[in-house]
């Protein structure tokens, strides 16, 4: 059944049922994923059957004689429950956060060579939209959600606002020439399981992503919870609400005005840390039991052997006199060194990070490195992480590219007078750039050598140095200063003559 046929159905229940069936993958178990992600919900904290509290003897069993009845009664021992140590490790959060930083800690690069003024202005508008939407930070939220929640979607929509365009056109210093001035700006929002969303991507028979449905809950003014089902297609947005039966509220279905589906989606079959979950569970058990062991054996106990014949010292209990064969007094000490526990914990930590190609970035591990880990040395040390970023780029790189492609078409739809033609011809390539410690001196030195050696153009050298985003303006300034120096040199030579 095609998407058009499903949307044409009169029965809303059947319509929603078919839209859900458009999903070709299993819906992520949000509750299970959240329990793994949130340390307070780890089983060491919540499963009292598997990790019970300790029963401590407070009063031993005894027998008492009742003189009135002449009978002896057995009084059972009394116990109290004492909480055990429960130590949690947010291992998944640490690994995912490091992977996120290496993947999009450096903003993805956009390679574009505008062929005319229209494409140049469109490219500038695209960068302004990304900046105003704080995409630099949103990228981290998206990658983090994709790694820990299995899927994430980014929904783009338009709102009324002319201040954005007023600032933009003032910046590029051109006018509309009497044409209609745009009053819409592009905004975005993230959908993911931890944010309360159930996502149902719809793929056609050719495997193309043609619609996205989102099921979520909202509250009305009376604080009543309402189930909402929302579907976004290439042309429109549909929304239904459940109030005993499904219905379509007035004004909730509308044409979004874009020429492409305004939803970008990324999915993975399992969380990034799924394979090291058993390591984390074992580590939490080891650390918790080890803490209990320390609590009970840290303070030494005094062992007395023999018959006590008296006390001595300034206070009665300062010294004890012992008599008899083998009389002795000694402290009980913990002579066994817990090397096996230490080895297992160290091994589990190292395996958890190595199996996920994640560096253990800590003060201890980087102590003494100084400025050594920069440039090529940094890339060499973190080679496995950079290779893993290349694997992430198979999905995230495609996600970023589809976002840029959509925004180009969206800008053309919002302002057809200036960007319609350019949106059909401009070519922008997006590339994921792994995080690295840049050595500016090395980059500038390399750029100068390459330009002077005729390997690179001056433009390529400025781009590689990465010291400015205004490439054309920087080149113009360099040319102007070069001409001034040549003019001064010519004047000096003429004065000498």
Same-domain pairing of 216 and 122 = yes
pLDDT digits (tens, 9 = 90+) for 377-400: 666 678 888 899 999 999 999 999
Q: Is residue 123 part of a domain?
A: yes
Q: Is residue 350 part of a domain?
A: no
pLDDT digits (tens, 9 = 90+) for 459-493: 776 666 666 666 777 777 777 777 777 777 777 77
More confident: 156 or 252: 156
Question: What average pLDDT does the chain have?
Answer: 83
pLDDT in the model for residue 180: 47
How far apart CA 397 and CA 430 sit, in angstroms, is 7
> Angle 265-23-255 (CA atoms, 0-180°, nearest 5)?
60
Q: Is residue 308 part of a domain?
A: yes
Same-domain pairing of 24 and 35 = yes
pLDDT in the model for residue 354: 93
List of residues 6+ apart from 165 with CB closer than 8 A: 181, 182, 183, 185, 415
> Angle 343-348-354 (CA atoms, 0-180°, nearest 5)?
120
Q: Are 3 and 211 in contact (CB under 8 A)?
A: yes
pLDDT in the model for residue 251: 79
Which residue range is the domain that position 469 belongs to? Answer: 440-496
Residue with tokens 């913990």: 334
Same-domain pairing of 145 and 72 = no
Strand partners of residue 199: 214
Other beta carbons within 10 Å of 212: 24
Terminal Cα distance for the chain, rounded: 89
Q: Is residue 288 part of a domain?
A: no
Other beta carbons within 10 Å of 417: 13
pLDDT in the model for residue 171: 64
Same-domain pairing of 401 and 453 = no
Q: Is the pLDDT of residue 134 over 90?
A: yes
What is the arithmetic mean of pLDDT over 27-55?
Answer: 92
pLDDT in the model for residue 375: 59
Same-domain pairing of 402 and 466 = no
Q: Is residue 125 part of a domain?
A: yes
Q: Is the pLDDT of residue 271 over 60?
A: yes
Same-domain pairing of 222 and 130 = yes
What is the arithmetic mean of pLDDT over 410-437?
Answer: 88
What is the arithmetic mean of pLDDT over 66-91?
Answer: 83
How far apart CA 165 and CA 162 sit, in angstroms, is 5
Confidence of residue 102 (pLDDT cuts 50, 70, 90): very high
Same-domain pairing of 65 and 94 = no
Tokens of 326: 């083998």
Same-domain pairing of 448 and 418 = no
Q: Is residue 69 part of a domain?
A: yes
Same-domain pairing of 193 and 307 = no
Tokens of 340: 């096996």
Same-domain pairing of 445 and 425 = no
Strand partners of residue 243: 245
Q: Is the pLDDT of residue 177 over 50?
A: no
Same-domain pairing of 304 and 245 = no
Considering 289, 317, 333, which residue would you say is the last residue of a domain?
333
pLDDT in the model for residue 67: 73
- Considering 31-45, 148-162, 476-490, the range whose residues carry the highest mean pLDDT is 31-45
> What is the total count of domains within the chain?
4
Q: Is residue 482 part of a domain?
A: yes
How far apart CA 397 and CA 263 sit, in angstroms, is 16
Same-domain pairing of 258 and 306 = no
Cα radius of gyration rounded to whole Å, the chain: 35
More confident: 82 or 66: 82
Considering 376, 411, 431, which residue would you say is the last residue of a domain?
431
List of residues 6+ apart from 413 with CB closer than 8 A: 257, 258, 259
pLDDT in the model for residue 291: 86
Q: Is residue 475 part of a domain?
A: yes
Q: Is the pLDDT of residue 304 over 90?
A: no
Could you give phi then psi for residue 332, rounded to 5 degrees? -80, 120
List of residues 6+ apart from 422 with CB closer than 8 A: 116, 118, 119, 121, 122, 412
SS3 content of the chain, % helix, strand, coil (to 5): 45, 25, 30
């Amino acid at each position: 059944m095609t998407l058009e046929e499903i949307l044409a159905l009169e029965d809303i229940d059947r319509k929603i049922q078919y839209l859900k069936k458009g999903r070709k993958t299993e819906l992520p178990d949000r509750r299970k994923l959240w329990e793994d992600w949130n340390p307070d919900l780890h089983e060491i904290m919540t499963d009292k059957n598997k990790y019970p509290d300790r029963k401590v003897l407070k009063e031993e069993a005894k027998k008492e004689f009742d003189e009135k009845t002449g009978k002896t009664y057995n009084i059972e021992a009394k116990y109290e429950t004492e909480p055990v140590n429960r130590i949690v490790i947010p291992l998944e959060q640490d690994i995912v956060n490091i992977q996120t930083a290496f993947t999009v800690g450096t903003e993805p690069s956009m390679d574009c060579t505008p062929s005319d003024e229209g494409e140049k202005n469109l490219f500038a508008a695209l960068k302004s939209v990304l900046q105003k939407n704080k995409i630099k930070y949103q990228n981290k939220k998206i990658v983090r959600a994709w790694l820990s929640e299995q899927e994430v979607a980014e929904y783009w929509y338009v709102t009324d606002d002319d201040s954005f365009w007023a600032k933009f056109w003032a910046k590029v210093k051109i006018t509309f020439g009497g044409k209609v001035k745009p009053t819409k700006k592009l905004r975005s929002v993230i959908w993911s399981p931890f944010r309360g969303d159930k996502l149902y991507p719809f793929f056609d028979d050719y495997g193309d992503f043609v619609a996205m449905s989102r099921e979520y809950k909202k509250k009305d003014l009376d604080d009543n919870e309402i189930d909402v089902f929302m579907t976004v297609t290439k042309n429109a947005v549909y929304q239904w609400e459940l109030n005993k039966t499904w219905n379509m509220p007035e004004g909730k279905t509308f044409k979004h005005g874009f020429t492409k589906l305004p939803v970008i989606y990324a999915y993975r079959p399992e969380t990034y840390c799924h394979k090291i979950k058993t390591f984390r569970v074992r580590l939490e058990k080891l650390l918790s039991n080890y803490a209990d062991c320390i609590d009970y054996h840290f303070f030494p106990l005094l062992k007395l052997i023999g018959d006590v014949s008296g006390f001595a010292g300034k206070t009665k209990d300062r010294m004890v006199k012992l008599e008899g064969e083998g009389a002795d007094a000694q402290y009980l000490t913990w002579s066994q060194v817990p090397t096996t526990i230490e080895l297992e914990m160290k091994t589990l930590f190292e395996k958890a990070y190595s199996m996920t190609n994640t560096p253990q970035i800590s003060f201890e591990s980087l102590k003494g490195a100084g400025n050594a880990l920069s440039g090529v040395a940094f890339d060499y040390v973190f080679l496995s992480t950079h290779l893993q970023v290349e694997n992430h780029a198979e999905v995230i790189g495609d996600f970023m590219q589809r976002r840029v492609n959509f925004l180009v078409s969206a800008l053309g739809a919002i302002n057809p007078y200036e960007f319609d033609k350019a949106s059909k011809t401009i070519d922008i390539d997006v590339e994921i750039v792994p995080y690295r410690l840049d050595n500016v001196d090395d980059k500038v030195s390399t750029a100068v050598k390459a330009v002077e050696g005729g390997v690179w153009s001056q433009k390529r050298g400025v781009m590689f140095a990465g010291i400015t985003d205004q490439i054309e303006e920087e080149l113009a300034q360099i040319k102007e200063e070069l001409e001034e120096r040549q003019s001064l040199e010519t004047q000096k030579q003429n004065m000498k003559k």
